A = this chain, B = another copy of it.
Amino acid sequence: MAERSGAPAARAVLQQCLQAGLQVQPAEELSEAQAVQIDRGMVIYICFFKGATDDILPKMVSTLLSLRLCESDSGKMVSVSELPGSLLIVPQATLGGKAKGRGMQYHNNIGKEDGLRLYGAFVSLCEEELKAASSSAEVTVKHGTYGNRQVLKLDTNGPYTHLMEF
């Protein structure tokens, strides 16, 4: 994890969930809204900053999947892969904001093209790692669509909100 004094390359907010759903496609004239959903597991809100590269992804993913951020049925803190739990990954550019006057500025956020690529690679790596770490058929990785509005519903037994920077 990056020291607080250096500018981070990525910021993640993590919340434990019993169930979480995300609309990935809004309703249109001829089609209903489409949504993805996970049951027990972790929601990862993720934002990449300028200068972030693919190099940081393996460490990020292994850290997020192995840190003891979730509470098991017996009350013990375990990692999401030990739970075993699913992941809902939410691209969240607002996490990179800085207050300037009464408004928010996003000058440090990564450009759209690089952000899209890193986000896709991050999701793929989470899928690989979670699959490798857990043999449970119920465990899954779902994710939002980069650039879309993230319409989220969250149900927790205590969100245990964590912040991680990389």
The tally of residues in A whose CB lies under 8 Å from a CB in B reads 40
Closest B-chain residue to A82, C-beta based?
Answer: B102
Asked if A99 and B157 make an inter-chain contact with CB atoms under 8 angstroms apart, the answer reads no
Residues of B contacting A121 with CB < 8 Å?
Answer: none
Q: How far is the CA of A129 from the CA of B152 in the complex (A)?
A: 28
Q: How many copies does the complex hold?
A: 2
Residues of B contacting A150 with CB < 8 Å?
Answer: 156, 158-159
Shortest distance from the beta carbon of A91 to any chain B beta carbon, whole Å:
11
Known contacts: A68-B103, A99-B63, A163-B95. The answer to whether A158 contacts B151 by CB under 8 A is yes
Question: 4 smallest A-B Cβ distances: which pairs?
Answer: A154-B154, A149-B158, A94-B160, A152-B156
Which A residues form the contact surface with B (CB < 8 A)? 1, 4-5, 7, 11, 13, 45, 63, 66-69, 77, 79, 90, 92, 94-95, 97-99, 102-104, 149-164
